[in-house]
A and B are shown apart, each in its own frame.
Chain A
């Protein structure tokens, strides 16, 4: 949005102020620096998941003989195989795949909102922002269902070493495998889910500001771009969570 700001390009005055470093506005630059620090946080989460997983023995046998046990790390596609309204049907990773598609699509609608903003197309921004918000809320709803299923567990549950049977998961014990497995599930998908939630809140704020004409009076839609960066980052993190938590 450099067209709304006069940029001083005389190299003698570079240190005199009024020059945008990297030709990016202050807000966008700061959003990028925030995102890189957020990326470090998520990297630390995922890498420590890898470390703790490496620390536990892996499952050795074939997938068809797999059963939950406290003595080895579970195979993710055996844990996440439930789908709403298909009780008892094994659909490995289908639900989490659907969630991935929903988040990618809401990222696409966000790009379209940014594009509409560049053209000062207020109706376009409104339309695509509302789709982005719907996508985000759908993802959150899916995640709520997945958490609920994970916490309540399967019908059979799983036998602990002392002979008792546990159903589902909490922060101390879970039917799927070592306690750390559920702890990491809650922390990684929970931290990501909170990012999605705050993303939806920011998207709604921008949608509101576009709708009542605040952004139009300001003369540019750069706020859509800044919040868009955050929203794409949330999608980016999910791409990594999907691979390293659910697929590998």
Chain B
């Protein structure tokens, strides 16, 4: 059993700018999520494709802030950043390949 001990290390003071920047990113994420709600519930149903386009756009804005700021990837070495980001191209390929397939299956059943 490890006994809790009294810390002898004096923490460095917090950098106010850094803390403020973290909350600033949080506010952006919150506002974008709120905007997604607004689009989902207030925009007319007939704008379906436009709504989907907006949802995907806003999702990538949020993903960008989470990965680049919260996960700090934007501040790592550029080579590390690309090592992580480039393999996601395989996801785009899978998306394309399987959606073409799905279209063909739909046509074969209902077309």
Q: Are B102 and A236 in contact (CB under 8 A)?
A: no
Q: Are B77 and A239 in contact (CB under 8 A)?
A: no
- For chain A, what secondary structure do more than half of its interface residues adopt (helix, strand, loop), or is it mixed? helix
Q: Does A24 contact B (CB under 8 A)?
A: yes
A167 to chain B, nearest CB (A): 27
A227 to chain B, nearest CB (A): 12
Q: Please judge, given known A-B contacts A36-B84, A239-B59, A247-B36, whether A22 and B77 are in contact too, CB under 8 Å.
A: yes
Q: Please judge, given known A-B contacts A51-B102, A105-B26, A121-B11, whether A243 and B59 are in contact too, CB under 8 Å.
A: yes
Q: Which of A47, A101, A214 interacts with B98 by CB under 8 Å?
A: A47
Q: Which of A22, A100, A213 interacts with B33 by CB under 8 Å?
A: A100
Q: Does A119 contact B (CB under 8 A)?
A: yes
Counting residue pairs across A and B whose Cβ atoms lie within 8 Å, the total is 153
- Complex contacts, B80 vs chain A, CB 8 Å: 22-24, 29, 32
Q: Are B63 and A93 in contact (CB under 8 A)?
A: no
- Complex contacts, B67 vs chain A, CB 8 Å: 232, 236
Complex alpha-carbon distance, A43 and B41, angstroms: 26
Complex alpha-carbon distance, A77 and B90, angstroms: 30
- Complex contacts, A229 vs chain B, CB 8 Å: 71
Q: Are B77 and A124 in contact (CB under 8 A)?
A: no
Q: Does B99 contact A (CB under 8 A)?
A: yes
Q: Are B102 and A54 in contact (CB under 8 A)?
A: yes
Q: Does A97 contact B (CB under 8 A)?
A: yes
CB contact list, B1-58 vs A, under 8 A: 2-5, 7, 9, 11-14, 18-19, 22-23, 25-26, 29-30, 33, 36-37, 40-41, 45, 52, 55-56, 58
Q: Please judge, given known A-B contacts A97-B33, A112-B22, whether A240 and B63 are in contact too, CB under 8 Å.
A: yes
Complex alpha-carbon distance, A93 and B33, angstroms: 12
Q: Does A188 contact B (CB under 8 A)?
A: no
Q: Please judge, given known A-B contacts A93-B41, A122-B11, whether A32 and B84 are in contact too, CB under 8 Å.
A: yes
- Complex contacts, B56 vs chain A, CB 8 Å: 243, 248
A19 to chain B, nearest CB (A): 13
A120 to chain B, nearest CB (A): 5
B28 to chain A, nearest CB (A): 10
B86 to chain A, nearest CB (A): 10
A110 to chain B, nearest CB (A): 8
- Complex contacts, B36 vs chain A, CB 8 Å: 242-243, 247
Q: Are A104 and B33 in contact (CB under 8 A)?
A: yes
Q: Does A86 contact B (CB under 8 A)?
A: no
Q: Which listed segment binds B: A55-63, A146-154, A172-180, A194-202?
A: A55-63
Q: Does A157 contact B (CB under 8 A)?
A: no
Q: Are B79 and A22 in contact (CB under 8 A)?
A: yes
A131 to chain B, nearest CB (A): 13
Q: Given contacts A110-B70, A240-B59, A247-B40, could you give 15 more A-B pairs where the C-beta distance is less than 8 Å? A: A22-B76, A32-B83, A32-B84, A40-B90, A108-B70, A121-B12, A122-B9, A212-B2, A228-B71, A236-B63, A236-B67, A239-B59, A244-B59, A247-B36, A248-B56
Binding site for B on A (CB under 8 A): 22-24, 29, 32, 35-36, 39-40, 43-44, 47-48, 50-52, 54-55, 57, 62-63, 77, 92-93, 97, 100-101, 104-105, 107-108, 110-112, 115-116, 119-124, 211-214, 216, 228-229, 232-233, 235-236, 239-240, 242-244, 247-248
